[in-house]
Amino acid sequence: MTEKAIQVPTRQVVLAGNPNSGKSSLFNRLTGMRQKTGNYPGVTVDKKTGRMILSNRKSYKITDLPGSYSIFPTTTDEKIAAREIINSADGQDTLFVYVADVTRLDKQLLLFTQMLSMGKPMILCLNMADLIQTDPVELERIFSKKYGVPVVSISSKKGLGVDRLKKKIETYHFNLPSHRDDPFFNSQDLSFRSGAFTAKSYDYITFVKDIHATKEVTSKKEDRNTANGTTRKQQILNAQVQDTMKRYALIEPFLHKLQPLITSDPSRTDLLDRILTHRWWGPAVFFGLMLLIFQAIFAWAQYPMAWIENGFAALNNIIYATFPSGWMTNLLTEGILAGIGGILVFIPQIAILFFLIGILEQTGYMARVVFMMDSTLQKFGMNGRSVVALVSGGACAIPAIMSTRNIAGWKERMITIMVTPLISCSARIPVYALLIAMVVPYQKIGGIFNLQGLAFGLMYFLGGFMALAVAWVLKKILRAPSESFLMMELPDYQWPDWSTIIFNVYNKVKTFVIEAGKVIFVISIVLWFLASYGPSDRMAEATQQAEQESISQNLSPEETANLKATYQIENSYAGILGHAIEPVIRPIGFDWKIGISLITSFAAREVFVGTMATIYSIGSEENIKGIQESMEKSTFSDTGEKVYTPATIWSLLLFYAFAMQCMSTLAVVKKETGSWKWPVIQFVYLTLLAYFSSFLIYQILS
């Protein structure tokens, strides 16, 4: 019999639990995937799926839900989890594995008991059991007897007990008797039954669905007054509070008896928090860490960047020596390799950024940053959870904007979405690195810092400052019925999982190379064609003019070739396009070549470097490092003055710091807000902010 013939239909296994309970780590253990994990809330903001095949040869679909504290959601990511739990049909072999942090059970069991009352098939998974001094078997016996479900103790980080969990999943019987004597819910106990709950038999799943449906009520007609003067919506919300309080009243005495059995050593966390969450020392440490990260991006990446650059230069030389001269060789060297090489050289800096941010996430430090920044960000219309998006924006704005789903208030979430693109992302690293090196010397200060690293950090702090300024304005403009508040628990500090961090760095760099590489590959070919060809009469006239000047000035053959390339690119299709927009960008110090890069950068910011590499390599055999020298020699065609003066470079830096040049980010904003209104507003205000900031700095420095 073939394997296909004996294959059993896929069963569903859904991981549920509180934020930061270790669900994502367990998901990775069960599926062999590398879902991002972090020791702070907001990592999983959408459900993730994988597949697992156990020894019984059954295929299991594993789903990792966003963390949630209750079946009654307050944030977008909690709504995703609640919807999945509620809509899971009984009798279809959907098994829930509820993951609870055994060291923090006081907040972990509310959602568990709610799912228990709903009759969901469950296995209780007590995670982080390696951190307590209790016999896991005894703990499993107590919880199993108390709640009538299979229980297993594990450590998802170390992999302890995961095989036992797989065995329990494999042998779970879906015909287990339901929890009939439910101590947590009795519809007769609801003091608001009259008018709100009219059914004689009112089970918990109906109660939950009724509350979810009532929260969607927007019409006053649908929310008419009941007999006792309160609205139906008020009655059901009061019943929700009553249900939650009753559950805590039953959970707390049980956990109080267990407290002597569940002991851990929090002294390390408490000691570190005295410094890292201190009113003054905490922010100082955070900004110091950010500054060290920026320094590391420059200092640690120098040698690998040089290796990549030299590698592409050697490859160019091999191609020139091997293949005959012609349009195909020029396309390969001056177009494709120049464009792609101009972006791949910055991979070391991007990898270092992702690596260091990953350490902060996994150790639990990011949760402290959320806590510390809450009161400050409240003044700017956001809250502490906005820090997750703002710091994550240093890697990429797309997942950062998606992480705002764990912000409960509409106003706070919308402000965070609108200002997150101002945080300098990894796509800006190539732009900053190229331009800063042209205007700031590599000079060490105090043996630790260097001027280029400080300038790099300045660009990040400038983006953060502008994000706060814009948020303050939006706070005054946007209107919301109520302000949200921050409720979260601080996890214990943990050693990072180095293999996970390295794998995440690999995946992020791989995604960056593939996604950016595809765009740059196409744009490099198009740009090479536009910069190499043009109207035949104009190209012929440009060639003739270059030859005449070469004779009159007695130029060498190499100088003549470079002069021809200069005149030809100016009269090419790319030159015509650039000259068309030059009047608009000339007031901020940009020439037509920069104008071309601004247009191509709307696909992705990092395309700027590839564009400049393609444009400035036309007609020459310079290596990638020589592109910077070509830019420094560039002059305005009408005045002969240098283009890349300090005023122009700082103007260009500010433009790329503020402008919305990422179509993918705009698409995500549309998806998260449900309307094109907000991405259009975002694009317009960021473009105007970038233009006038560049205009101001250019006029001052000129």
Structure tokens at 370: 């959320």
Structure tokens at 260: 């002597």
Integer Cα distance of 81 and 23 in angstroms: 13
Structure tokens at 501: 């961090």
Q: Is 24 annotated as a binding residue?
A: yes
Q: Is 228 annotated as a binding residue?
A: no
Tell me which residue of 24, 25, 93 sits closest to 64, measured CA to CA: 24
Q: Is 43 annotated as a binding residue?
A: yes
Q: Is 446 annotated as a binding residue?
A: no
Q: Is 128 annotated as a binding residue?
A: yes
Q: Is 42 annotated as a binding residue?
A: yes
* Burial class of residue 205 (count of CB atoms within 10 Å of its CB; 0-12, 13-18, 19+): middle
Structure tokens at 478: 């946007």
Q: Is 437 annotated as a binding residue?
A: no
The three-state DSSP-derived secondary structure of 501-515 is HHHHHHHHHHHHHHH
Q: What is the DSSP string of 69-93?
A: S-SS-SSHHHHHHHHHHHHPPTTS-
| 3-class SS of residue 211 | helix
- Other residues' Cβ atoms within 10 Å of the Cβ of residue 201: 6
Integer Cα distance of 333 and 329 in angstroms: 6
Contact criterion met (CB below 8 Å) for 639 and 598: no
Q: Is 23 annotated as a binding residue?
A: yes
Hey, CA dihedral for 222, 226, 230, 235, is it positive or negative?
A: negative
Q: Is 28 annotated as a binding residue?
A: yes
Q: Is 162 annotated as a binding residue?
A: no
- Other residues' Cβ atoms within 10 Å of the Cβ of residue 258: 16
Helix ranges (H only) for 424-497 are 429-439, 451-477
Integer Cα distance of 439 and 453 in angstroms: 13
DSSP bridge partners of 8: 58
- Contacts with 484 (C-beta within 8 Å, 6 or more apart), sequence order: 383, 407, 408, 409, 411, 412
| 3-class SS of residue 611 | helix
> What is the Cα gyration radius of the chain?
30
Q: Is 325 annotated as a binding residue?
A: no
Q: Is 19 annotated as a binding residue?
A: yes
Q: Is 65 annotated as a binding residue?
A: yes
Neighbour-count burial for 94-118, b at 16+ CB within 10 Å, e otherwise: bbbbbbbbbbbbebbbbbbbbbbbb
Alpha-carbon separation of residue 320 from 106, 557, 693 (angstroms): 69, 18, 43
| 3-class SS of residue 162 | helix
Q: Is 18 annotated as a binding residue?
A: yes
φ/ψ of 100, rounded to 5, equals: -125, 135
Q: Is 129 annotated as a binding residue?
A: yes
Q: Is 94 annotated as a binding residue?
A: no
Structure tokens at 179: 């929890």
* Burial class of residue 296 (count of CB atoms within 10 Å of its CB; 0-12, 13-18, 19+): middle
Q: Is 64 annotated as a binding residue?
A: yes
Please report, as a single letter, which amino acid is at residue 25: S
- Other residues' Cβ atoms within 10 Å of the Cβ of residue 162: 18
Q: Is 45 annotated as a binding residue?
A: yes
Known binding-site residues equal 17-24, 28, 31-32, 42-46, 64-67, 127-130
- Residues making up the binding site for GTP: 17-24, 42-46, 64-67, 127-130
Binding site membership for Mg(2+): which residues?
Answer: 28, 31-32
